[in-house]
Amino acid sequence: MDAFYAAVEQAAKPSLRGKPVIVGGLGPRGVVATASYEARVFGVHSAMPMAQARRLCPNAAYLTPRFGLYRRVSEVVMRLLRELSPLVEPLSLDEAFVDLQAGGAEGDMGRWSAGTAREAGERLRRDIRAATGLSGSVGLAGSKMLAKIASEQAKPDGLLVIPPGTERALLAPMPVRTLPGVGPATAQALRRAGIATVGETAEAGEAELVRLLGRAHGGALYAMARGIDDRPVVAERDAKSVSVEDTFDTDLTDRARIRAEVARLADRCVARLRAAGRSGRTVVVKVRSYDFSTLTRSETLRGPTDDPAVVREAAARLVEGVDTTAGVRLLGVGVSGLADFTQEDLFAQTGARAAGSSGTVRPPSPDPPMAADGPGRGGRGAEAVRRWLPGLDVRHARYGPGWVQGSGLGRVTVRFERPGSPPGRVRTFVVDDPELESSEPLPPWDGQDSEPATRPNVMSSSEAGGPAPGTPSP
């Protein structure tokens, strides 16, 4: 998907279409999650510190991520991919590998040319746009590595086919970091040997690459430089864990605040666990200190649970054993050892409940609905109850649905519009206006609350030309 988070925001907020949009953590330590193509013109890119992005593109719309909405849109796209083939390997919310050949009817294997593969990819792009209003880019090739490279070359809103036999010519001029597994250290080692491009990597030969990088890494790199990648597309596996974490605008040192944050994170983690219909038996706490050093602590229960009180208390016990006096930058709570059932004997799991109260925290009040689900959140507690974060959804008793443009000095500015509407009017209210409340996001498909059919215009395999060998990476 093209600039996925930012594209969802532009589709859902008519006034932002065609304008620079930057999504990410908005606090002093926030980073860019996604920048729209209009913002990328100014040099903004993902993983950039938000403060630097603001200097490069001060007139952009800076928005809090709405991950729940992004997941909902992602599910629509992934269902379209599974219509093509049972072998779909998601890499993230906005990217996946699909083995098209696995989706062919019996007797169809080996029929598909680059032309019929292109037809399947173009149909997929049309269906994605019809179902979500968003654009995606497709790479078609005979391996995962090449399909990934092709999809990047096709962006934005394009399609690229790499026909068999053309792989090495396409790869040769590309920087060596184009290849999977080549990071800064490997690139530097190759650069010292006078190797800068993929073509030069292939010309160096396997023996030289093994000498420079070791047998496993050097051998694999030599194969990829020649366009060889035998990794199969692996269908989506069950998640091994569920976790949530927050980075704070200022380091936390107050123990009571840390306990409350851990309890709140535990509740959010259990909410995700229950939404997935799972339970777990190992509770994990993650603590990142002011100096970026990170440690984890875990406790395995006697059986799987989805009880928020059980997870809260286990997380509280774990964090009590961590020295946080120097300041905490990030906290996380996770549950692993997932199962499809829940242990009934909850009291037996948490015998420590009766052993004393030092590790037990009182269940916190729920997150204020205006709070973001993502990095850079910071300040919580009573002072955050009426904190309106830019980009989040609201509803006014008189003016209807809208979204927060900004807030400060006791005021909140809201633009009243919805997907499919013309750009809306802006109004300002006091932050505690009783007629203004947070609301659930409206999906980008024409402002309808229900999800669209995943394939608006069904075509038979004979009409579409059928699936083709290769692997698209939308």
Q: Pull the structure tokens for residue 388.
A: 């309106």
- d(Cα 247, Cα 6) in Å, to the nearest integer? 21
- Is 435 annotated in the active site? no
- d(Cα 177, Cα 183) in Å, to the nearest integer? 6
Rg for the chain, CA atoms, rounded: 25
Angle value at C-alpha 71, between 439 and 399, nearest 5 degrees: 20
Q: How many angstroms from the chain centroid is the CA of residue 388?
A: 23
Residue among 272, 267, 247, 337 nearest 299 (CA): 337
- Write the DSSP string, 333-385: EEEEEEESS--S-HHHHTGGGGG-STT--PPPPPPPTT--SSSS----SGGGT
Q: Are the C-beta atoms of 334 and 280 separated by less than 8 Å?
A: no
- d(Cα 214, Cα 37) in Å, to the nearest integer? 39
- For 86, other C-beta atoms within 10 Å of its C-beta total 11
Q: Which of 9, 38, 95, 245 is catalytic?
A: 95
CB-based contacts of 445: which residues, under 8 Å, 6+ apart?
131, 132, 133, 419, 451, 452
> What is the SS3 assignment for 408?
strand
Q: Are the C-beta atoms of 31 and 376 separated by less than 8 Å?
A: yes
Q: How many angstroms from the chain centroid is the CA of residue 301?
A: 30
CB-based contacts of 293: which residues, under 8 Å, 6+ apart?
none
Residues tagged active-site: 95
